[in-house]
Amino acid sequence: MLNFEFKNPTKIHFGKGLIEKLTTEIPANAKVLMLYGGGSIMKNGIYEQVKSALKNFEVVEFGGIPANPEYAVLLKALDIIKTQNITYLLAVGGGSVIDGTKFLSSAALYTGTNPWDILEKGIRTDVGMPFGTVLTLPATGSEMNSGSVISRAETKQKFGIGGPGLFPQFSILDPTVISSIPANQIANGITDAFTHVLEQYMTYPIGANLQDRIAESIMQNLIEVAPVILNNPNDYNAQCEFMWSCTMALNGLIQKGVPTDWAVHAIGHELTALYGIDHARTLAIIAPSHYRYNFNAKKEKLAQYASRVWGINEGSIETKAHQAIDKTETFFHSLGIKTHLSEYTDNYKDASEFIHKNFTDRGMLGLGEHKNLTPDDVVKIVEMSY
């Protein structure tokens, strides 16, 4: 096991009917900017619950943060924060609203002249404006981590930021919010969380058995709950399992003391930037090709995953490892997620050159757990996914 440091300061309220906890979690004298997305919270009763809990606070609202939170939209919210002397941010939404709020938390206290620098230069946030979240869509783990990914449509860019100042102070996880999520977004959430585990697991053996077994159990849980929650999004036990699995997949715990990969995400973000494909679907496009291309480097963990997660115990390491990749792809298909780029866009052949140029320009010359995947390797992985 590698050396590590672990601190996760986010307080979780998990369970039915807990949105009212906002009343005690937000400081009494705060001037709150409540941020939300395209309006789903108006239709499913979440807006009323939040407003009722905030009735004794001074609250300004900012709606309209789109999926893949857009820099130009967030600048309008930043203006409100500054002109209206906001002191506390509250995200009510999925990963996009939470990530947008994290960027605002950073930008609100940023002393430089251009907030774009935070994204383009990847400036780490040690202290941000305090914020909390009400999660409405399990998927990203953003509710309990310090990462954020922001898009800029104008330049077709999508950049990640982070830093210890970007953990939410608290997050309210009421699993009943899942009842109103459309099936395609539930499928996205399962795929995203599952791939988060893969990115932190599918590397090489390091002798961190506890992390491996926690990772394997999150994957097993997601595989088990997927058909249940897709079939009946009102099943409370399934809601709980799905929501907590997604949070645990990316709250920092399973990446401690182990090598991590994250190449699938790095490449996937480019597909979202270029084509607007949902984040999770980009991962399902890239992951199978990535594991096939890097087969030799990853075959031992692939075989372990085959045996412990999929129950494949026959044959050589190579046989089990190949079957595990096929099983993963079949799992994505079972959720209704397509795994080839050409199934999403007719212009798929633009992808490899676009990504090669971006990674070269940004100096992203060595991806993966061995930091040895060059832009030329990435071209091959992307073309395998066509």
Site for ligand NZQ in 13-42 (CB under 6 A): 37-41
Which pairs from 321-330 meet CB under 8 Å and 24+ separation?
Answer: 321/295, 322/295, 325/288, 325/291, 325/292, 328/198, 328/287, 328/288, 328/291, 329/284, 329/288
Within residues 163-202, the interface with Zn ion by CB under 5 A covers 192
For the bound state, the minimum distance from the C-beta of residue 139 to Zn ion, rounded and expressed in Å, comes to: 7
The only residue of 105, 140, 200, 304 in contact with ligand NZQ, by rule CB under 6 A: 140
Find the shortest distance in angstroms from Cβ 56 to Zn ion: 37
Q: Residue 261's binding partner, choosing from Zn ion, ligand NZQ, none, with beta-carbon cut-off 5 to 8 A by kind?
A: none
Closest to ligand NZQ by CB, 238 or 250: 250
Q: Please identify which residue in the block is written with the tokens 């919010």.
A: 177
Q: Residue 227 touches which of ligand NZQ, Zn ion, none (CB < 5 to 8 A by kind)?
A: none
Residues 226-285 that bind ligand NZQ (CB under 6 A): 250, 265, 279
What part of residues 142-201 is at the interface with ligand NZQ (CB under 6 A)? 142, 145, 147-149, 177, 180-181, 185, 188, 192
Those residues with Cβ within 8 angstroms of residue 169's Cβ, 6 or more apart along the chain or in another chain: 9, 10, 11, 25, 130, 131, 132
Nearer to ligand NZQ, 32 or 177 (CB): 177
Burial class (CB in 10 A: 0-12, 13-18, 19+), 207: exposed
Q: In whole angstroms, how close is the CB of 135 to Zn ion at the nearest point?
A: 15
Long-range CB contacts (within 8 A, 24+) of 296-305: 297/204, 297/368, 297/369, 297/370, 298/202, 298/203, 298/204, 300/204, 300/205, 301/201, 301/202, 301/203, 301/204, 301/205, 302/202, 304/205, 304/212, 305/201, 305/202, 305/216, 305/219
Q: Which does 37 bind (CB under 5 to 8 A by kind): ligand NZQ, Zn ion, none?
A: ligand NZQ
Rounded Cα distance, 22 and 140, in Å? 22
Instruction: Name the DSSP letter for residue 38.
Output: S
Residue 99 or 192: the one with the smaller Cβ distance to Zn ion is 192
Beta carbon of residue 58, minimum distance to ligand NZQ (angstroms, whole number): 24
Q: Which of 68, 221, 239 is nearest to 142 (CA)?
A: 68
Element (H, E) at 131: strand 131-135
User: Under rule CB under 6 A, which residues in 64-123 are in contact with ligand NZQ?
Assistant: 67-68, 93-97, 99
Residue type, 140: T
Of ligand NZQ, Zn ion, none, which one does residue 188 interact with (CB within 5 to 8 Å by kind)? ligand NZQ
Interaction residues for ligand NZQ, span 291-330 (CB under 6 A):
none
Residue 56: CB minimum distance to ligand NZQ, A: 25
Residue placing its CB nearer to Zn ion in the complex, 264 or 297: 264
Point out which residues bind Zn ion (CB under 5 A).
Answer: 192
Q: Under the rule (CB under 6 A), what is the footprint of ligand NZQ?
A: 37-41, 44, 67-68, 93-97, 99, 136-137, 139-142, 145, 147-149, 177, 180-181, 185, 188, 192, 250, 265, 279
